[in-house]
Structure 1
Amino acid sequence: MFPHNKPSSKEESTDKNDTTKKTLLPEQLVYTIDCKQGAVRAVRYNFDGNYCLTCGNDKTIKLWNPKKQMLIKKYTGHGYDVLDVAGSNDNSQLASCGSDKTVIYWDVGTGQIIRRFRGHAGRINCVEFNEESTVILSGSVDSSVRAWDCRSRKSSPIQILDEAKDSISSLQVTDHEILTSSIDGKVRRYDLRVGTMFSDFIGSAVTSAKFSKDGQCILSSAHDNTLRLLDVTTGEMLGEYTGHKNSKYMIECGLNYKDDHVLSGSEDGLIYIWDLVEGTITKRVAVRPNKVIHSLTLHPEENLMIAACEDKIYFFTDENYEPPDDIG
Structure 2
Amino acid sequence: MASENIPSRLERVIECKQGAVRAVRFNVDGAYCLTCGSDKSVKLWNPHKGILLHTYSGHGYEVLDARGSSDNSLIGSCGLDKSVMMWNVSTGEALRKFRGHAARVNCVAFNEESTVILSGSVDTTVRIWDLRSRKNEPIQVLDEAKDAIMTVAVSAHEILTASLDCYTRIYDLRNGQLVSNCIGESVTCASFSGDGQCVLTSTMGSSIHLMDRETGELLSQYTGHACKEYKVESCFTSSDTHVMSGSEDGYVYCWDLVKTTLTNRLEHTGSQVVHSLSSHPSQPYLLTASLGQMWLWSAQSQDKESI
What's the TM-score, normalizing by structure 2?
0.97
CA apart distance, 1:257: 1.0
Residue by residue, what CA displacement relative to the aligned partner does 1:107-131 show, whole Å, maximum 9, x if unpaired? 1111011111000000000001111
Separation in 2 of the partners of 1:196 and 1:105? Answer: 29
Structure-2 residue corresponding to 1:40: 21
Structure-2 residue corresponding to 1:87: 68
CA apart distance, 1:192: 0.6
Give secondary structure in 1 for the equivalent of 2:208: strand
Separation in 2 of the partners of 1:212 and 1:140? Answer: 23
CA contact (8 A) 2:155 2:192 kept: no
Separation in 2 of the partners of 1:70 and 1:324? Answer: 15
Q: What residue ranges of structure 1 are gaps of 5+ in the alignment?
A: 1-19
One-letter amino acid of the counterpart of residue 160, structure 1: V
Separation in 1 of the partners of 2:184 and 2:143? Answer: 19
One-letter amino acid of the counterpart of residue 302, structure 2: Y
Q: How does 1:5-20 map to 2 (within 5 A)?
A: none
Residue by residue, what CA displacement relative to the aligned partner does 1:245-273 show, whole Å, maximum 9, x if unpaired? 01110000000111110000000000000
Structure-2 residue corresponding to 1:182: 163
CA contact (8 A) 1:29 1:316 kept: yes
Separation in 2 of the partners of 1:198 and 1:229? Answer: 16
CA contact (8 A) 2:2 2:8 kept: no
Indicate how the Cα distance of structure 1 residues 75 and 290 shifts in structure 2: closer, same or farther if over 3 A, else same.
closer
Say which of 151, 159, 164 aligns to 2:140. Answer: 159
CA contact (8 A) 2:4 2:299 kept: no
Structure-2 residue corresponding to 1:287: 268
Say which of 47, 51, 59 aligns to 1:70. Answer: 51
One-letter amino acid of the counterpart of residue 166, structure 1: D
Separation in 2 of the partners of 1:265 and 1:21? Answer: 17
Say which of 105, 116, 120 aligns to 1:124. Answer: 105
One-letter amino acid of the counterpart of residue 12, structure 2: Y
Residues 1:29 and 2:14 aligned together: no
CA contact (8 A) 2:150 2:163 kept: yes
CA apart distance, 1:175: 1.7
Give secondary structure in 2 for the equivalent of 1:279: coil
One-letter amino acid of the counterpart of residue 276, structure 2: S
Residues 1:169 and 2:139 aligned together: no
Say which of 81, 85, 101 aligns to 1:104. Answer: 85
Separation in 2 of the partners of 1:99 and 1:288? Answer: 29
Q: How does 1:141-220 map to 2 (within 5 A)?
A: 141-220=122-201
Separation in 2 of the partners of 1:138 and 1:73? Answer: 23
CA apart distance, 1:31: 0.9
Larger Rg: 1
Separation in 2 of the partners of 1:321 and 1:85? Answer: 29
Structure-2 residue corresponding to 1:245: 226
One-letter amino acid of the counterpart of residue 98, structure 1: G
One-letter amino acid of the counterpart of residue 269, structure 1: G
Structure-1 residue corresponding to 2:202: 221
Root-mean-square deviation (CA, aligned residues, Å) is 1.6
Structure-1 residue corresponding to 2:94: 113
One-letter amino acid of the counterpart of residue 284, structure 1: R
One-letter amino acid of the counterpart of residue 233, structure 1: E
CA apart distance, 1:53: 0.4
What's the TM-score, normalizing by structure 1?
0.91
CA contact (8 A) 2:2 2:264 kept: no
Residue by residue, what CA displacement relative to the aligned partner does 1:260-295 show, whole Å, maximum 9, x if unpaired? 100000000000000001111000111135610000
One-letter amino acid of the counterpart of residue 88, structure 1: S
Separation in 2 of the partners of 1:41 and 1:137? Answer: 19
Structure-2 residue corresponding to 1:55: 36
CA apart distance, 1:78: 0.2
Q: Report how many aligned residue pairs link the two structures.
A: 307
